[in-house]
Amino acid sequence: MREIMRHAFLVAYEGSNYYGFVRQPGGVPTVESVLLGALKDCGIFTNLKESRYQIAARTDRGVGALAQVLAMNTLKTPEVEEINSRLPEDVVVLGVGVADKDFNPRRDVVAKHYKYVCEVPENFNVEIAKEAASMLVGKHDFRFFCAREKGKTTEGKILLARVDVGKHLTFDFVAPAFLRQQVRRMVQALLEVGIGVIDLEYFSDALNGKVTRSFRPAPPEGLFLANITYRRLLIPRDEKAVERFVSFLRKKGDLRAHAMIEVLSGLT
C-alpha cells in the first residue's frame, strides 16, 4: 500500500473571471472550484475532507495571485503538466512539492507579499504617501483599514509597506497575515493621503482609533498575491507552467498583467 504523501501546490491565477478563490454556494465560478475539479479528475484525491485540504489565502473576487499555496494528502504523485491540461488558461499550477505531514499553508506562513498597481492619480504627492506608508509598519489595530468580522481581532503586524511611482503607482505590503480587505483599504487610505483628501494627522488618527469611518477598499483589479514564504517549504517552479501563464498575461495586457510578468521574471 502506497504511503500517504502530503503535497503543496503553488498556484497562479489572474482572477478577473472568478468570484474569489474560495468555493461558494450556487455554483458561481471560483478559482478553488476549478482547481479542485482538475485535481480530482487527475485522481489526486477522491474525498476532500480525508485529504486534509488547506489553503494559504482567501483572495476576494477579481484579485489575482502568483503564490497561492494549497496542501493535501494525495493518492498519487501530482504531475504539473497533467493538472494544467485540465485547467483554463487563467489558472495554472506553477509547481508541486512534498510537504511535511503536518504542513498547514495558512498557519505555517512566515510572510505574505501583496502588490497593488494602478495609474498615477493627477497631482499625487508620492512623498506624503510614503510617509503615511511608513506609519503602517509595526503592530497596530487596523479596525479602520479592514472589513471587520465578528469575533475576529483587528490587530495585526505589518513588516513592510512601500509606495513607488514610475510609469504607474505600485504599493507593496508584507506581513505574516492580513485581515479581510486590509490591503485594498490600506491602498485606498494611501491614495487619499497622496491626492490630499486626508492629511497625515487624519491618517495617524485612523491608526490610533480616533476617527469615525473606515476606509473603503480600492478596486480589486490592481491587487495580486506576489509571493509567500515558509521556513520549511520551497516549491520549485515548472518552467513550462510559468511560460504558459506568462503567455496568457501577455495577451491580457493590462497593468496588473504586466506587473505579474515582472514579478515572475524576477523569480525565475
CA distance 150 to 146: 12
Structural domain count, the chain:
2
Q: What percent of the chain has pLDDT over 70?
A: 99
Q: Can you tell me whether residue 227 is helix, strand or coil?
A: strand
Tell whether 74 and 124 lie within a shared domain.
no
- Contact 76/43 with Cβ under 8 angstroms? yes
Tell whether 149 and 214 lie within a shared domain.
yes
Tell whether 121 and 95 lie within a shared domain.
no
CA distance 21 to 237: 21
CA dihedral 179, 180, 183, 187 (to 10 degrees): -120
Tell whether 101 and 10 lie within a shared domain.
yes
Tell whether 139 and 212 lie within a shared domain.
yes
If you average pLDDT over every residue of the chain, what do you get? Answer: 96
CA distance 18 to 16: 6
CA distance 257 to 248: 9
Tell whether 132 and 142 lie within a shared domain.
yes
Tell whether 127 and 97 lie within a shared domain.
no
Over the stretch 207-254, which tens digit does the pLDDT of each residue have? 999 998 999 999 999 999 999 999 989 899 999 999 999 999 999 999
Query: What CATH number does residue 181 fall under?
Result: 3.30.70.660
* Mean pLDDT, rounded, for 146-150: 91
Q: Which residue range(s) make up the domain with 34?
A: 5-108+231-267
Amino acid at 231: R
2 has pLDDT over 70: no
Phi-psi region of 216 (alpha: psi -120 to 50; beta: other; left: phi over 0): beta
Tell whether 37 and 101 lie within a shared domain.
yes
What pLDDT sits at residue 25? Answer: 86
What pLDDT sits at residue 197? Answer: 97
pTM: 0.95
What pLDDT sits at residue 268? Answer: 44
C-alpha cell at position 157: 503586524
Tell whether 100 and 14 lie within a shared domain.
yes
Which positions are annotated as active-site residues? 60
What pLDDT sits at residue 231? Answer: 92
Tell whether 66 and 92 lie within a shared domain.
yes
Query: What CATH number does residue 242 fall under?
Result: 3.30.70.580
59 has pLDDT over 60: yes
267 has pLDDT over 50: yes
What pLDDT sits at residue 4? Answer: 81
Please, what is the end-to-end C-alpha distance for the chain in angstroms? Answer: 37
Q: What percent of the chain has pLDDT over 90?
A: 92
Tell whether 90 and 21 lie within a shared domain.
yes
Instruction: Report residue 183's pLDDT band, with 50, 70 and 90 as the boundaries.
Output: very high
Over the stretch 67-116, which tens digit does the pLDDT of each residue have? 999 999 999 999 999 999 999 999 999 999 999 999 999 999 999 999 99
CA distance 180 to 158: 14
Tell whether 34 and 82 lie within a shared domain.
yes
Over the stretch 43-56, which tens digit does the pLDDT of each residue have? 999 999 999 999 99
What's the Cα-to-Cα distance from 185 to each of 74, 97, 169, 180, 242, rounded to whole Å? Answer: 37, 34, 16, 9, 30
CB burial string 249-261: b at 16+ within 10 A, e below = beebeebbbebbb
